[in-house]
A and B are shown apart, each in its own frame.
Chain A
Amino acid sequence: MLEILLSALILIGALFTFIGSLGLARLGDFYTRLHGPTKATTLGVGSLLIASMIHFSTQGNGASFHEVLVTIFLFITAPVSAHLLSKAALHLRVKSLANVPPRIDEADSGTDSR
């Protein structure tokens, strides 16, 4: 029973990781590519980490919860790096399939506004 749950979690995690990278390779412009890795990959790795947590907790060496740290860390940092990447791309005027709002072009997005 536990093994089935573990296998399912591992497969789901790997599948999401793969789909995230597939999105990175396949989609049309930078801004849409950004969505794949930030979302699908975080959930994929999160699912893998939960599987690892269950696996090592049932080994008999006591509970193992430090995988939670990596999960939390990824969930905090993924949106931050996505925001910074997107800001950098807007600043460099990377080609976009969607219409860029005009106010960004006028304002100096390069100033360090924390």
Chain B
Amino acid sequence: MKLRLFPHPVLTPLIALIWLLLANSLAPGQILLGLLLGWAIPIFTLRFWPERIRIHRPLTLFRFLLLVLYDILVANLNVALLILRGPRRLTPAFVTVPLDLRSELGISLLANTISLTPGTVSSWLSPDRRSLVVHGLHVRNPDALAATLKRRYEAPLLKVFEPC
């Protein structure tokens, strides 16, 4: 493996930011230490990150993050109401979502988003990574749910990580 000076350029500012949050200060020394850690940690953990992360459309990613935050709020209210209404009126179901995403990061981001948002938890990924089984708390129409998940979350992730 070729040794690069900056194996993951995205990771460096992120680690520096996390360090500053942890230290809870903006002193110049802490900034310097954060940048140093951000430079050293990716090099030492290189073998855990075999894929190089490429973000193709930062703006789409940003919009996706805002959408997910909004959806988390709505989903939480939804789930809270469903819990309060009681177990008898729920129709839980497993839904299989075929995947178009191929990269590991893309699939894991999609699975996490699905778990955080609309009354669904991603339960199982098939060994060939072609489909994701999702458990929904209150599903009226399984096919519509799968289509919504694909359109709302997978499409932007495809644009960001795997443009063809």
Q: Which residues of A contact B (CB under 8 A)?
A: 16, 19-20, 22-23, 26-29, 31-32, 34-36, 38-40, 42-43, 64-66, 68-69, 75-76, 78-80, 82-83, 86-87, 90, 96-101, 103-104, 107-109, 111, 113-114
Cβ-defined contact, A103 with B126, below 8 A: yes
A111 contacts which chain B residues (CB < 8 A)? 127
Contact with A along B112-145 (1 / 0, CB 8 A): 1111100101111111010001010100000000
> Is B75 located at the chain interface by the 8 A CB criterion?
yes
Name A's interface SS: helix
Cβ-defined contact, A83 with B90, below 8 A: no
> Is B87 located at the chain interface by the 8 A CB criterion?
yes
Cβ-defined contact, A99 with B112, below 8 A: no
What is the bound-complex CA distance between A111 and B113, given in angstroms?
Answer: 24
Q: Which residues of B contact A (CB under 8 A)?
A: 18, 21-22, 24, 72-73, 75-76, 79-80, 83-84, 86-87, 90, 92-94, 96, 104, 111-116, 119, 121-127, 129, 133, 135, 137
For B131, the closest partner residue in chain A by CB is A103
Q: A82-B115, A90-B124 are in contact. List 7 more A-B contacts (CB 8 A).
A: A34-B135, A36-B79, A38-B115, A38-B121, A43-B73, A90-B123, A107-B126
What is the bound-complex CA distance between A61 and B127, given in angstroms?
Answer: 52
Nearest-neighbour CB distance to chain B for A76, whole angstroms, equals 7
Cβ-defined contact, B115 with A40, below 8 A: no
Nearest-neighbour CB distance to chain A for B34, whole angstroms, equals 13
Cβ-defined contact, A28 with B133, below 8 A: no
Nearest-neighbour CB distance to chain B for A105, whole angstroms, equals 11
Nearest-neighbour CB distance to chain B for A102, whole angstroms, equals 10
Cβ-defined contact, B80 with A66, below 8 A: no
Cβ-defined contact, A86 with B112, below 8 A: no
What is the bound-complex CA distance between A114 and B111, given in angstroms?
Answer: 13
Cβ-defined contact, B123 with A31, below 8 A: yes
B133 contacts which chain A residues (CB < 8 A)? 101, 104
Partner of A40, one of B21, B79, B93, B123: B79
Cβ-defined contact, A98 with B86, below 8 A: no
Partner of A78, one of B84, B96, B115, B127: B115
What is the bound-complex CA distance between A2 and B40, given in angstroms?
Answer: 42
What is the bound-complex CA distance between A16 and B79, given in angstroms?
Answer: 10
Cβ-defined contact, A23 with B104, below 8 A: no
Nearest-neighbour CB distance to chain A for B147, whole angstroms, equals 17
B123 contacts which chain A residues (CB < 8 A)? 31, 83, 86-87, 90
